[in-house]
């Protein structure tokens, strides 16, 4: 059975808040209260250092992830300098930095270098090389030696099973399953994520990340299947205020937005 979100009527407010009555006769809570009921932790996904430092003060954010694509978009040219500057300021949140090699020996070297930067660092290792060679045994080696890994770009239950076995006796680890991209392929990620989390239950120090989400609903879905963590970009974080919003009010605000924009554009017929 999925997680149940407790909704309260106006007669029974929570923490002094008055619930908002939707049109269908049920009751929804203001977004802060709904978010408080969700146990899935949010990791901010990005490479803008000022944005990361701001989010480090946000109580909704429990950690940070980066990747070479995001860093390139942010104009970062010195990987190590960026990471060290960030880690000087972000000391209590886990931060994931990804290797960018494709040769096993070089991936190992980079992983050990990145892991040495700080205690709160997780090293992102792709599940395979660019030619499709599994990196399972390297993950096993690194995890067993105490490196905290974040195995990324995972899409299949077979990959989850193999990596779970590789990290189950090692250091704390994350398994990043790209649920959003799975959905992009026309596949419902929810059953797959539910089974992935069940598979990972044998690895007590491993946590599952719902990666590449596309909408706020994905946070609710992640929580409903017991997913430990979800990554969210700044665009999605900005939409969290709509969580639990009354749909009748949302409809009205949308109509008002269209009207304002048409007036601002000066359209005439």
Phi and psi torsions of 97, nearest 5°: -120, 140
Detail the DSSP E strand segments found in 119-266: 121-126, 149-154, 173-177, 206-210, 229-232
Query: What pLDDT is stored for residue 120 in this prediction?
Result: 98
Q: Across the chain, what does the average pLDDT equal? A: 90
Residue 19's pLDDT is what? 38
Tell me the two tokens of residue 97. 């930095």
Q: Report residue 184: phi and psi, to 5°.
A: -60, -25
What confidence tens digit (pLDDT) does each residue in 68-110 have? 999 999 999 999 999 999 999 999 999 999 999 999 999 999 9
Of 10, 73, 124, 268, which one is the catalytic site residue? Answer: 124
For residue 44, list its beta bridge partners: 64, 232
Q: How far apart are the first and last CA of the chain?
A: 54
DSSP letters, 165-177, are HHHTTSS-EEEEE
What is the model's pLDDT at position 33? Answer: 63
Quick check: 56 pLDDT over 70?
yes
- Segment 37-44 shows an average pLDDT of 96
d(CA 100, CA 85): 19
pLDDT-derived band at 260 (thresholds 50, 70, 90) equals: very high
pLDDT band of 58, cuts 50, 70, 90: very high
pLDDT reading at 32 higher than 80: no
What is the structure's pLDDT at 34?
Answer: 81
Q: Please determine, for residue 123, whether its predicted confidence score (pLDDT) is greater than 60.
A: yes
Please give the domain boundaries of the chain with CATH numbers for all domains.
39-254 (3.20.20.70)
Q: Does the pLDDT of residue 2 top 80, yes or no?
A: no
* Mean pLDDT of the 130-134 span: 98
Q: Please give the residue that has the higher pLDDT: either 86 or 22.
A: 86
pLDDT tier for residue 36 given thresholds of 50, 70 and 90? confident
pLDDT-above-70 percentage for the chain: 88
How many CA atoms lie within 13 Å of 155's alpha carbon, on the beta-carbon side? 11
Integer angstrom CA distances of residue 126 from 158, 189, 200: 15, 20, 18
Query: Is-catalytic flag, 73?
Result: no
Q: What is the DSSP letter of 20?
A: B
Q: Using one digit for the tens of pLDDT, what is the confidence trace for 212-250?
A: 999 999 999 999 999 999 999 999 999 998 998 899 999
Q: Which neighbouring-strand residues pair with 109?
A: none
pTM, rounded to two decimals: 0.87
217's tokens: 């609903």
């Amino acid at each position: 059975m999925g997680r149940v979100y407790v909704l309260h009527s106006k007669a029974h407010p929570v923490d002094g808040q008055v619930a908002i009555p939707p049109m269908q006769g049920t009751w929804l809570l203001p977004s802060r209260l709904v978010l408080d009921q969700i146990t899935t932790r949010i990791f901010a996904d990005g490479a803008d250092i000022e944005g990361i430092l701001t989010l480090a003060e946000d109580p909704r954010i429990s950690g940070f992830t980066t990747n070479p694509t995001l860093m390139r978009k942010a104009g970062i040219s010195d990987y190590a300098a960026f990471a060290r500057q960030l880690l000087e300021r972000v000391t209590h949140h886990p931060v994931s930095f990804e290797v960018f090699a494709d040769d096993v020996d070089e991936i190992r070297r980079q992983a050990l270098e990145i892991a040495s930067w700080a205690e709160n660092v997780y090293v992102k290792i792709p599940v395979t090389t660019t030619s499709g060679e599994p990196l399972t045994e390297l993950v096993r080696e690194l995890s067993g030696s105490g490196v905290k890994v974040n195995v990324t770009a995972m899409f299949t239950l077979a990959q989850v099973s193999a990596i779970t076995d590789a990290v189950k006796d090692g250091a704390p680890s994350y398994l990043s399953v790209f649920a959003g991209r799975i959905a992009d392929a026309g596949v419902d990620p929810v059953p797959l994520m539910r089974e992935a989390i069940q598979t990972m239950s044998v690895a007590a120090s491993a946590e599952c990340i719902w990666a590449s989400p596309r909408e706020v609903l994905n946070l609710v879905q992640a929580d409903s299947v017991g997913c430990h963590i979800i990554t969210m970009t700044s665009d999605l974080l900005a939409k969290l205020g709509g969580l639990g919003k009354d749909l009748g009010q949302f409809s009205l605000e949308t109509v008002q937005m269209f009207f304002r924009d048409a007036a601002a554009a000066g359209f005439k017929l």
